[in-house]
Amino acid sequence: MSELVKIRDVSVRYDISARTLRYYEDMGLLSSTRNEDYAYRLFDEAALRRLEQILILRKLNISIKDIQRIFSASGSEVVLEVLRKKVTAIDEEVSLLRELREIVLTFIRQIERIDFTKESDVKLLYEQAKAIETQLVNVDYNGNSSTVSRLLEVTEKLDRKVPDILIIRIPRFRAVTSGVMSFGELFGGDFGPWQEAHSHLFRPVVFDAHDFLLGKDGGAEWLWAVKDGVTAAETDPYGITEYPGGLYAAAVSMDGDGESHDRVRSKTAKWLENTDFTIDNDRELMGHMIYVDDEIQAGLGYHQMVLYAPIKRKDRQNGEVSH
pLDDT tens-place string over residues 184-230 = 777 677 888 888 889 899 998 887 778 888 877 777 888 999 999 99
Percent of the chain at pLDDT > 90 equals 18
Measure CA 221 to chain center: 19
Average pLDDT taken over every residue of the chain: 78
Pick the CATH number of 166-313 from 3.20.80.10, 3.30.470.30, 3.40.50.800, 1.10.3210.10: 3.20.80.10
Mean pLDDT of 291-300: 65
- Alpha-carbon span 255 to 135, nearest angstrom: 42
Q: Are 310 and 288 in contact (CB under 8 A)?
A: no
pLDDT band at 142 (very low <50, low <70, confident <90, very high): very low
Q: Which long-range contacts (CB under 8 A, 24 or more apart) does 5-13 make?
A: 5/42, 5/43, 5/44, 5/48, 6/38, 6/40, 6/41, 6/42, 7/32, 7/40, 7/41, 7/42, 7/43, 8/40, 10/43, 10/48, 10/51
Of 47 and 303, the one with more pLDDT: 47
Amino acid 322: pLDDT: 46
Q: Are 235 and 198 in contact (CB under 8 A)?
A: yes
Mean pLDDT of 276-299: 77
CATH 1.20.950.20 holds for 5-65: no
pLDDT in tens, 92-137: 878 877 877 776 677 677 767 777 677 777 777 666 656 555 544 4
Amino acid 317: pLDDT: 41
Q: Is pLDDT of 14 > 80?
A: yes
Q: Is pLDDT of 298 > 70?
A: no
